[in-house]
Amino acid sequence: MNSNLLPLHQKINQRVGHIAVSYKGKLLVWGGYMEFSDPSESETHHHATDELFVYETHSEIWERKLLKGDIPPRSSGGCGVVLGDTLYIFGGVVRAEFEFDGNTNDLYALNLITMTWSLLKPKGTPPIPCEKLVGWEHGGKLYFFGGFGPIPDRHVFFQYVIDDETGSAWNNQFFGYNPQTNNWEWPYVNGEPPSPRAAHAGDKCGHRIFISGGRLKTVRKNDLYVLDMDTMVWSGNINESAEYVPPGRSWHSFTFISSHRAVLYGGFSTYNNVLNDCWFVDISSHEGNVTEGSTSNASRWKVQYILPPHAQRFCLRRFWHKTVFIEKTGDLICFGGFNRFNNPPLIVVHGDDEESIQDQDLKPDHTNVMLTIHFRPLTLLRLSLNAALKYHKKNRSLWETLPHSLQALLTRRFSQIYP
C-alpha cells in the first residue's frame, strides 16, 4: 500500500517508534512505522524521513514540512532531543529496503530553521547501538540513557543483560554529546543507577532527570530513579518512599506538567496487558545531605501516586505512544501508539473487551486519535473555533462574514477533520 494515498489524519496519527518533541510551543512529529489494519496487508510501513509534521496548538492545525540534506534512513525506536533550534535524532532500528538492518548509533541533526539534515560524526568513544532509550538536554549538551541493542564488542563501564532469544542485550549506558566540540562524552556518576532496561520513560524537571519503569527480560518495572545533573548522583529507587505504586510497565509515558507533578500514562504490563490508567505523580524532595548511615538518596524523596478525577482516570488503552507537554498552552498531548497487541503474545483482556477479542488473530492496532488533556483553560479563540467546527452544518454559511484570517483557520481545520 502506498502510504501517500492515506488520509492525512491516518498518516499522521498511525505510527509507533516515532519521535515527538516540543519546540517553541509546537509539537513536532517524525519517523516511526505503522502496521496496516487490512488483513491482506502484511507489510510494515516505515514513515518517510524527509518530512516533519508540525502541530500548532493555538490553531490546532497540522503542517507538513519537507526536509533536505543528509536524509536519515527510515527507522523506529530512536530518540529525539531538541537543543536550541536543532532536533537531534539518535539510534533506533534502521529499515533498509524490505528488511531490518539492525540497531544504529548514528546521530543526525535537523536544523529547524532551514529544515536541513546533517549526519554528525562525533569524535571519541561511541555509544553502543540501541533502540528504545530516553534522552534530554542539559547545559548545552545532550544526554541519553539505557536501551536495547547488540552485545558490546569492547570492555564497557556500564551493565548489560543478554536476551537469550535474540542475542541482543538491555543496557544502562549513560553517555552524552557535546555539540560545541562534536565529541561523545561519558560522564562519571555516583549513587545507585537504574538497572539495564529499554522502553522506559523519562522526563527532565529543572536540573533533574527522572527515569520510570521499562523492561528487563520478562519483567516490566515499577521503579522511579532521579539523576541530579548538577552533582551527577543517582538517587536509587525513590518509589520506595511511596505508599502505593502502580503496576510495572514499559512503552509508557512519564511527563512533567509542573515543577512537582508528572503524569504517568498507559504502557504494556508484565502480564501483557495494554494499560489505560492515567496517574498524577506528586514528587517532592528534601534538600540537604543524605541521612547518616543511609546507603541511598531515596530517603530524600516523597512520591505519591494519585488517580485524577474520573474524566482523566482512564483513557484509551495505549502503548509505545509519545506524550509531550506544551507549556505555552498547558496542553498535555499524547500522540501515536498501539491500543492492543496480540502477535505475540496473547493479550490478557478483561470486561467488555473479552468477547470481541478472544477469538481473533489480531495484529497491533493503531490509535487513530490524538489525546489532549488541558491543564489550562482554552483561549477564547480556541473555544470559538471548536464551536464553529462542531456546529458547522448550521453555521458554515456564515463563515464568509468573518475576517479572512479566521476564515482561513476554519477552512484548514475543517479540511483536516473532514477530509
Closest to 276 in 3D by CA, of 304, 247, 256 = 247
116 forms bridges with which residues in the sheet?
A: 68, 111
Q: Is the pLDDT of residue 402 over 60?
A: yes
pLDDT digits 0-9 by tens, 186-227: 999 999 999 999 999 999 999 999 999 999 999 999 999 999
Cell of 195: 538497572
Cell (9 digits) for 69: 540534506
At 40 the pLDDT is 53
- Cβ atoms 190, 233 nearer than 8 A: yes
- Residue 279: what residue type? W
What pLDDT sits at residue 288? 56
DSSP string, 286-306: --SPPPTT-S-GGGGEEEEEE
Report CA torsion sign: 293, 296, 300, 303: negative
Q: Say how far apart CA 202 and CA 214 lie, in whole Å.
A: 10
Instruction: Give me the percent of the chain exceeding a pLDDT of 90.
Output: 74
CATH fold of 191-285+297-320 reads Neuraminidase (2.120.10)
From 188, 199, 193, 201, select the one nearest 172 (Cα to Cα).
193
pLDDT, one tens digit per residue, over 337-375 is 998 764 433 333 333 333 333 333 445 688 878 899 999
- For 95-123, the pLDDT digits (tens) are 765 555 799 999 999 999 999 999 999 99
The Cα-based distances of 43 to 46, 127, 341 in angstroms read 9, 31, 16
Query: Does the pLDDT of residue 234 top 50, yes or no?
Result: yes
pLDDT at 292: 44
390, 384 Cβ separation under 8 angstroms: no
HSE-CB of 91 using CA atoms within 13 angstroms: 26
Predicted pLDDT of residue 339 = 86
Residues shown for the chain? 419
Look at the block and give the residue holding cell 475543517. 414
Contact assessment for residue 37 and residue 366, using Cβ atoms and an 8 Å cutoff: yes
Q: What are the Cα distances from residue 256, in Å, to 42, 203, 208, 275?
A: 38, 7, 11, 20
- What CA–CA distance (Å, rounded) separates 176 from 199? 19
pLDDT tens sequence across 25-75: 999 999 999 886 555 555 778 899 999 999 999 889 999 999 999 999 999
DSSP state letter for 207: T
Q: How confident is the model at residue 258 (pLDDT cuts 50, 70, 90)?
A: very high
Q: Does pLDDT of 251 surpass 90?
A: yes
Task: Single out the residue of 11, 4, 58 nearest to residue 34, CA to CA.
Answer: 11
State the average pLDDT over residues 174-191: 98
Q: For position 39, what pLDDT does the model report?
A: 53
If one compares 144 and 361, the residue with the highest pLDDT of the two is 144
Is residue 52 within 8 A of residue 32, CB to CB? The reply is no
How many whole angstroms separate alpha carbon 281 and alpha carbon 213? 14
Residue 44 has a CB neighbour count (10 Å cut-off) of 15
Spell out the SS3 assignment of 45-62.
Answer: EECCCCEEEEEECCCCEE
Per-residue model confidence (pLDDT) at position 391? 93
Q: Which pLDDT score is estimated for 252?
A: 98
Judged against a pLDDT cut of 80, whether residue 4 lies above it is answered with no
Domains of the chain by residue range:
191-285+297-320, 382-418
- Sheet with 322-326: strands ordered across: 322-326, 331-335, 371-374
C-alpha cell at 337: 501508539
Q: What is the pLDDT of residues 69-95, one digit of tens each?
A: 999 999 999 999 999 999 999 999 997
Give the rounded distance of the alpha carbon of 387 from its chain centre: 31
Is the alpha carbon torsion for 379, 381, 383, 389 positive or negative? negative
**Percent of the chain whose pLDDT exceeds 70:** 86
| Whole-number Å distance between alpha carbons of 405 and 186 | 51
Q: Which of 95-104, 141-150, 227-236, 391-400 has the lowest mean pLDDT?
A: 95-104
SS3 4: helix
Question: 242 or 298: which carries more pLDDT confidence?
Answer: 242
294: how many CB neighbours lie within 10 A of its CB?
Answer: 12
Mean of all residue pLDDT scores within the chain: 88
Tell me what pLDDT residue 7 has.
58
At residue 6, the pLDDT reads 56
